[in-house]
């Protein structure tokens, strides 16, 4: 075994036989997913592969399923999505999180519609808005059948164990990609990528991997060491900073005031309750949107990627309506249809409970 940080040299037995064994397993055990074509079926169209891959970034398969179906029902082609209203798309995305993905989704759809089709090369796909290395490789392999090295979190785990890569993540990623490149076949690269994802999701799991069922068990270095669950190693996480903010519930005649957040920045383009500018300030000391009598209704908490937020909810008991911020009055009984991002949806539910 080589020391941590050195280039990993695969055991001699990990060669093309490993990819062949994995593909045989996939032919028998492939998961049927809404965006997937099974082995032997015609390739899935690029729009559906791309849409699913964008949605699946840092999101579970179970969470993505309903959103994927909703988007295809509303916008069945990339041209339809490109022509969609920004607000409608952001509202349809609400609750899926990481809202920059929705903005990039629209930008990419419009670029593809203008070009007339998705690029069929990994490099061409990578040049599209919001398409990074992983997504470009996945679409190239799955939709266009090109050999591409596709590495997501599941693949990272499988390969780190297969080659017993000791370097902690994220520093190990170049080693993991090189090892994945070694075993990626020239043919059926899309099936191979999906097989690796399925293996990580169902067999080579984070905890209690089902090694007895694994088609790569005989050539897995971590299994040979007797402790596959130890890998991949991860660097210690830093504690996330805490922020505070306030959201304001302004109600009249059975309606609540919603505002549209700026197009760029946190939760950009989404409908939301007015707030105190916590995305920029983070100290909960920003001014309310109008002179009024306010009552605290408690707080909600929400974790973002880089910080945790405690959002104090303030209820308006009457004030100077002439100084209201620009927004739209939304029927309270239909608040679930407003497409509020999760943190503001939590605040709205608290307001309804406290009214």
Q: Which residue has the tokens 């082995």?
A: 39
CA distance 148 to 184: 8
CA distance 108 to 105: 5
Q: Which residue has the tokens 């059948």?
A: 145
Tokens of 239: 């504690």
Which residues 6+ apart lie within 8 Å of 324 measured at CB? Answer: 250, 257, 289, 290
- The CA-atom distances, in angstroms, between 334 and each of 89, 209, 272, 331, 348 are 18, 44, 14, 5, 11
Q: Which of 6, 45, 53, 79 is catalytic?
A: 53
What ranges in the chain are assigned the alpha helix state H? 16-29, 46-56, 61-74, 78-82, 86-93, 100-115, 122-126, 133-144, 153-162, 173-183, 189-202, 221-225, 342-354
**Known active-site residue 310:** no
Which of 169, 168, 165 lies closest to 10, judged by CA?
Answer: 165
Q: What angle do CA 242, 244, 246 make, to 5 degrees?
A: 160
Q: What torsion do the CA atoms of 294, 295, 300, 303 make, to the nearest 10 degrees? A: 30
Q: Which residue has the tokens 């905890």?
A: 207
CA distance 183 to 245: 49
Which residues 6+ apart lie within 8 Å of 321 measured at CB? Answer: 252, 290
Handedness of CA 170, 175, 176, 177 (dihedral sign): positive
Catalytically active residues are 53
């Amino acid at each position: 075994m080589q020391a941590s940080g050195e280039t990993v040299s695969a055991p001699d037995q990990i060669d093309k036989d490993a990819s062949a064994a994995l593909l045989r397993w996939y032919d028998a055990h492939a998961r049927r997913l809404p965006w997937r074509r099974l082995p032997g079926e015609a390739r899935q169209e690029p729009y559906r592969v791309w849409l699913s891959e964008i949605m699946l970034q840092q999101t579970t398969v179970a969470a993505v399923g309903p959103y994927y179906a909703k988007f295809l029902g509303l916008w069945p082609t990339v041209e339809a999505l490109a022509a969609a209203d920004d607000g409608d798309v952001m509202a349809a995305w609400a609750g899926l999180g990481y809202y920059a993905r929705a903005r990039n989704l629209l930008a990419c759809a419009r670029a593809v519609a203008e070009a007339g089709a998705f690029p069929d090369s990994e490099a061409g796909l990578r040049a599209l808005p919001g398409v990074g290395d992983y997504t470009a490789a996945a679409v190239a392999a799955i939709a266009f059948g090109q050999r591409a090295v596709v590495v997501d979190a599941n693949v990272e785990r499988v390969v780190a164990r297969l080659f017993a890569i000791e370097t902690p993540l994220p520093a190990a990623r170049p080693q993991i990609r090189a090892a994945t490149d070694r075993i990626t076949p020239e043919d059926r690269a899309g099936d191979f990528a999906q097989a690796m994802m399925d293996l990580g999701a169902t067999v080579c799991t984070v905890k209690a991997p089902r090694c007895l069922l694994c088609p790569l068990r005989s050539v897995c270095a971590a299994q040979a060491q007797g402790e596959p669950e130890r890998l991949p190693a991860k660097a210690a996480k830093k504690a996330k900073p805490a922020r505070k903010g306030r959201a304001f519930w302004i109600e009249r005649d059975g309606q609540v005031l919603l505002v549209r957040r700026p197009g760029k920045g946190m939760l950009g383009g989404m409908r939301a309750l007015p707030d105190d500018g916590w995305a920029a300030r983070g100290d909960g000391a920003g001014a309310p949107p109008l002179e009024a009598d306010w009552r605290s209704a408690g707080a909600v908490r929400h974790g973002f990627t880089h910080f945790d937020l405690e959002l104090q909810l303030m209820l308006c008991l009457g004030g100077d309506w002439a100084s209201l911020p620009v927004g739209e009055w939304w029927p309270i009984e239909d608040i679930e249809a407003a497409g509020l991002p999760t943190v503001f949806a939590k605040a709205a539910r608290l307001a309804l409970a406290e009214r």
